[in-house]
Amino acid sequence: MRVALGCDHGGFALKEAVLGVLHDLGHQVDDCGVMSADSVDYPEIAAAVCSRVADGACQRGILICGTGIGMSMAANRNPAIRAALCGETFGARMSREHNDANVLCLGARTTGPGLAEEITRVWLAGEFSGGRHLRRIKMFC
């Protein structure tokens, strides 16, 4: 699939690790930056990634900041986005199966690279269960 990937300065190092996972798995990546650890405003990156998911250019998005919190708040302002902040693999899997999350948010200062890479793999592999869960996510807006 095609995945939009973005981070702020707090997530730059982890973005490089996640990019490696995406390439390993054979996904195409729209890298929306940033390309250095210079300070930026994370809502601008969240908007760039989410617009690619919302317009269908990318099937999924991944956003990384220091905690993942700011990115998830910003991403969920877009009505087409269901962003899940995940710090462990069970939640990552459930965010796909029950919530059809189309954006994964990671915290580079809260989640180590090994775990973040495993969360990314689990989340990308997860399938939406549909059924009652589709009814519920339709109630979001």
Closest CA to 93 of 51, 121, 54, 133: 121
**Which C-beta is closer to ligand RB5: that of 13 or that of 125?**
13
Q: Is 95 in the site for ligand RB5 (CB under 6 A)?
A: no
Q: Please tell me the distance from the alpha carbon of residue 88 to that of residue 96, in angstroms, as a whole number.
A: 13
The pattern of x and - marking residues 9 through 28 that bind ligand RB5 according to CB under 6 A reads -x------------------
CB 69 to ligand RB5: min, Å: 4
DSSP label of 10: G
**Which C-beta is closer to ligand RB5: that of 53 or that of 106?**
106
- Other C-beta atoms lying within 10 Å of the C-beta of residue 105: 28
Q: Would you call 58 a catalytic residue per the annotation?
A: no
Q: Which of 98, 105, 133, 141 is catalytic?
A: 98
The answer to whether 116 and 105 are in contact (CB under 8 A) is no
**Which C-beta is closer to ligand RB5: that of 12 or that of 100?**
12
